[in-house]
Structure formats: C-alpha cells, structure tokens
Amino acid sequence: MSTVRAGALGSAGAPTLPHANAPKELNEYMEKYHVSSLLSSIVRQLATEQPADPVQAMLEAVKAWPARKLIIGGAPASGKGTQCERIVQAFGVTHISTGDLLRQHVKDKTPIGKEVDGIMSAGKLVPDDLITDMVLDKLKQPDCQHNGWLLDGFPRTPAQAQALRDAGIEPDVFLYLEVPDEILEERVTGRMQDPQTGKVYHSRFNPPPRDVEPRCTRRSDDTPEKVRERLKAFHANLQPILDLYADKVKTIDGNRGAKDVFSDVQTNIKA
C-alpha cells in the first residue's frame, strides 16, 4: 500500500498523498472520513505552533476534530484581516468574506452574481437576504464541510444573524475584537496605499518609504467624518448580534500587537 512520506509536503504545508497510485478502496476511505483534511490541519498546526511535545499536540488535534466553525467580528480596522490570515494558517479552516464571495459570483456570472451586478451597477446596497443566501450556499460546499469555516465580519446585521440561526448554522465560537473608537479612527484615517504595488501603509504606524510616499493615495471615505458614520452604523447593529450569540461570544482586546491578539484568539478557539 502507498504511504505518506515523512516530510512530503505540498505548497500549503499539507501532506502530499499519492492518491493516483493508491488502491481505490483507500481513496474511498480517505474521502469518506476526510483523512486528508485532518492530516493537513494537523501539519499546519504543528508548523505554526511548533510544540515541545508534537505527539501530544497531534493527539489533541485529533480529539478536536471535526474542524471548527468560527465567526470573527469587529469594527472596520479592528484587525480582523490580520487575525483571519493567522487563523487560517493555524487551523486550516475555509475563510469566508462576503466581499470576496460577491466578487467571485459576479466574475463567474452565476444567477446570484448577475443579480448582484445589476444592484451594484445601479448604485444600490445588496440586500441582506441575497448576501445571506450567498453565504449559506458557500457553507454547503465541500471545503467548508471538510475543513470547517471562518466567517469574516458576517453577520453584520441582526437579520443576517437570525437567518443563519434559522438555517441551523451555529458557530463554535464568536470572536469579537474590541478596539476603542478613537483608536479605530486613527487607524483608518492614517491609511495610505501604494497604487503600483497595492501595499498598505499608515502615516504613523507604518509610513511608506520617502520615494513611495508621493504616489500613495487615500480612500475618499477614510475621513474622520465618514469613519464616525461607519462606526455609528456598526455599533447600532452590534449589540443585538452579540446578544444572539451570548453563549458563544469571546471578547478579545484588539488594541494590542497582532501576535498578542492572536495568542488570545488561539486560546479561545481551543477552549
């Protein structure tokens, strides 16, 4: 029987399994019980955490299977994007961003994508029910079923949260990144982007090189007034969502370095 060679890793750090040469029965078994997803998740976790006792860490990872179901919430500039990258790397879950889903549906010209394209072309907001349908469809896909999922900034409204619950979708944990409004405003209004490379800088925390700064641009809505409007809308929707997930919410101080924040994120996911 073909076996996995020690150290045979794919580009994503997952074991490279010789499915093409393996007996049909083995492939059917591995697909039925999601063995590849399990092994991939364990390898990613070992690579990220590098535990002193890898055998014990692997045993704990197996006990924690099946894969996790997570929601991360927070205001604009609270650090969700950075933490999502780390969560995906550590736990192998499928990252779900409504913005990414919208763009993909429009690109693929799906029925939802065509409807969304028409709405956005008219300068209107995409309605809650359409976004929710899109997310629910994604959650049914094999990658989410096998690897678990991470909803990034969704649900944004009480109606979206209730729709998830009505569909029987419940997270294991709801990670809420809490950052004071004045800090959020400073983070947003200082953002700058190099249009040539796409790299994002910050005028105070991460200023661009002198030769790059003259060409950097700022978003038209990254003004103090616009940021306050966005934060007001965010807070108006926040409490009903937190109330709905009261037994799942873990509030994390997001006003720290990304490494420290992720330490708390990991602890709460594993709890």
Q: Which residue shows structure tokens 């192998």? A: 92
Do residues 198 and 183 lie in contact, with contact meaning Cβ atoms separated by under 8 Å? no
Residues 86, 226, 230, 250: which is the catalytic one? Answer: 230
Angle of helix 98-108 relative to helix 128-139, nearest 10 degrees, comes to: 90
Neighbours of 91 (CB within 10 A): 22
Residues 156, 248, 250, 256: which is the catalytic one? Answer: 156
Residues 204, 215, 219, 232: which is the catalytic one? Answer: 219
Gap between the Cα atoms of 214 and 116, Å rounded: 36
Taking CA 140 as the corner, what is the angle to CA 138 and CA 143, rounded to the nearest 5 degrees?
75
Q: Which residues pair with 173 in a beta bridge?
A: 70
Residue 109 burial class via C-beta count within 10 angstroms: exposed 0-12, middle 13-18, buried 19 and up: exposed
165 included as an active-site residue: no
Residues 44, 68, 80, 138: which is the catalytic one? Answer: 80
80 included as an active-site residue: yes
138 included as an active-site residue: no
219 included as an active-site residue: yes
Neighbours of 143 (CB within 10 A): 14
86 included as an active-site residue: no
Active centre residues (catalytic): 80, 156, 191, 219, 230
